[in-house]
Amino acid sequence: VLIVDKPAGPTSSDVVQAIRRVAGVRRAGHTGTLDPFATGVLVVCLGRATALAAHLTDADKAYRAVGRLGVVTDTGDRTGRVVGGSPPDADSARRLEEALPRFRGEFEQVPPAFSAKKIGGVRSYELARRGEDVPRRPVPVRVDRLDLVAWDGDRFTLEIRCAKGTYVRSLVQDLGEAAGCGATTEELVRTASGPFTLAQAVPLAALADAAAVERRLVPLADALPDWPALALGPDGLAAVGHGRAVGPPGFISEPPALPPGTNVRLVDASTGELLALARWSPTGDPLAFPFRVFVSTP
């Protein structure tokens, strides 16, 4: 797994394809689209790590966004065509700040027309670019943090932590509407994706060759640090290699108390290598049921 600091300009898919070519791998994918104008954390899975992509995609994301009051664009960001807005007045800042609590927690959000969401198998932004009507139905989202951290003239800065599928551009646009003058997103930086932060990310320009990629790879065993890790001995390794559940003889120490259905990592006690992803069942003898195996035994 590679943690990339995406630059402004290329699409997320462009970044993945560039890394795939440099690294010389056939399989690669990212774990959450960033708009072309946006920057920041883009988690890229290479080779066998693509099996982890769905789990990494489900992780919460964090952003820093700069919005501009008085401007509304068709894309919801600075790259779009201005379609509305009015000069902010003396009460715009107060109205915006008072609206923040409405957009914390769980609520329904209308996705922007220019988004990667598929409608009838076609990307929403493709329909919008062709001038076609884009059906935009509200979808449930969750925002755990939405804080106003800076204000400079008609520009304001937000710190956001949210569940996957939340559109920051829509948040900014809705706040602009609440302020009474409209707003659009001028800057957007993803500061974290799940456990991975901007401090860990490597600029795309620094990944000039396969060796540079290799040096910055996060091992499979460390790619899901929020999942409990269970160390296995020879018996456990043999069980996983044959696709069987792992019971007490396979663990090198007493398993921790975990709720039923907890996702866990099964790792080789001697090498630290990721053997499998499994689901925990403490009923009767504690067992770990692998659902994605990375090793095999002849």
Tokens of 134: 């884009």
DSSP alpha helices (H): ranges in 4-120? 12-23, 53-57, 92-99
Concatenated DSSP letters of 180-201: TS-EEEEEEEEEEETTEEGGG-
Residue 125 Cα distances to 84, 116, 117, 139, 171, angstroms? 20, 6, 8, 17, 18
For residue 236, the surrounding DSSP H or E stretch is helix 234-241
Q: Which residues contact 222 (CB under 8 A, 6 or more apart)?
A: none
Q: Annotated active-site positions, please?
A: 35
- Phi first, then psi, for residue 167 (nearest 5°) are -100, 115
